Amino acid sequence: MDSSLFYKKLEKITASGISPRVIQSGQGAYLVIKGKKQLNFCSSHYLGLAVDHRLKKAAISAIDKYGIGTGYRTLAGTHTLHLELEKAIAKFKKTEAAVVLSSAYMANCAAIQTILGKEDIVVSDELNHASIIDAVKLSQVKNKFIYKHVDTKSLEDQLKQASKLALTPKSDGEKPIILIITDGVFSMDGDLAPLPEIVKLAKKYNALTMVDDAHGEGVLGKGGRGIVDHFGLLGQVDIEVGSLSKAFSVTGGFIAGKKVLIEFYNQKARQRLFSIALTIPDAAAALEAVNILQKSDTVVKKLWDNVNYLKSEFKKLGFDIGKSETPIIPIMLHDENLAINFSTKLFELGVFATPIKFPMVSKGKARIRVIPSASHSKEDLDLGIKAFEKIGRKLNVI
């Protein structure tokens, strides 16, 4: 293709794209956008730690002591802060060990690609995160079974087929691995994976289990330990992937599990071997965030107080909030233009809540995704509720 035609094609595709709002402040209860203060109702800094003075202090102190940059973990990039952070995460998650990577996206890729070959088998929820889908593609697994969203009957149907396939040895003579993969919290609907049933089925069909708990870390379970703790399944899920960029408000991702598994990732995961380690301030701030939750669950309780209040008030007004069991609250509008219009009018009233539409969700499933945080006061929530009520009535949604 002629290069000029190539760029014209790109121009045509990108012309209809929507540019994101540019944030001119920290990620607190309010954001500054175009010089105007907006109630922050859509970021996933669940615990309000993005502007917490303790994390700021930890990052600044680490910079003063160590500087900023690191390097490749396998060469000159493994810093004492990385080891402290991994030890703290394992303690927090109550697993034998953990490994930290540059993002939760990379953690999912490493978790899957490193242990699976082309002849292994994946059984995956149909609404799993894009990073899981990409990780499975990266692994080049040929045998993929997709089950209906959070449907354990559908999962068992797929496992029956997978277990039959697993009877045939791989070309190296070994038995194929069956890996069940699920999000813990599904980020668009806020519903939970039926993890107890998934674990039971995994044991029944000799499969490994993996949960991506990016939106559950710091939110679910005792002190925010995540969905595995929430369901009382400590030690029964093989691979736990988490994010440091949501509730912990820093950057990076991690894999937690048995010591031998984590050591295998340390030695073999390409995403760890060929990627720069977390910077000094990131590692220090993440370590402080984990330590804060180890000491107290005050911010987790505050988050859930806000979540429960907001959900209750939205329901009273007649909004459809789907099947959310978490701080992710979808205001279901279905029509994409309506979702865009609703969000625009909210913005005019000083409330920032973005529309979610295709391809992030299926067509006909457009919504406004609301996420409160522990940093919001009741007055903040009431401000948002009033704005939603006003626009909801104006647009005949309620």
Catalytic residue among 246, 311, 365, 376: 246
User: Has 53 been annotated as catalytic?
Assistant: no
**Sequence-ordered list of residues with C-beta below 8 angstroms from that of 193, at least 6 positions apart, any chain:** 125, 150, 182, 183, 184, 185, 186, 211, 227
* Domain interval for residue 113: 67-295
At 284 the pLDDT is 98
Q: How many domains does the chain have?
A: 1
Q: Is residue 213 part of a domain?
A: yes
Cα distance between residue 79 and residue 280, in whole Å: 8
Q: Is residue 136 part of a domain?
A: yes
User: Has 79 been annotated as catalytic?
Assistant: no
Catalytic residue among 131, 139, 187, 343: 187
At 332 the pLDDT is 96
At 174 the pLDDT is 93
Q: Is residue 14 part of a domain?
A: no
What's the first-to-final CA gap in the chain, in angstroms? 51
Q: Is residue 192 part of a domain?
A: yes
Q: Is residue 308 part of a domain?
A: no
Catalytic residue among 93, 215, 311, 357: 215
Q: Is residue 326 part of a domain?
A: no
At 55 the pLDDT is 97
Q: Is residue 389 part of a domain?
A: no
| CB 372, CB 307: distance < 8 Å | yes
Q: Which strands sit side by side in the sheet containing 355-356, from one edge to the other?
A: 329-334, 366-370, 355-356
User: Has 149 been annotated as catalytic?
Assistant: no
Q: Average pLDDT for consecutive 10-residue bins of the chain (398 residues)? A: 86 80 92 95 94 97 96 91 98 97 96 96 96 94 97 98 95 95 94 98 98 96 96 97 96 97 96 94 98 95 97 97 95 94 96 90 91 97 97 95
CATH number at residue 226: 3.40.640.10
Q: Is residue 368 part of a domain?
A: no
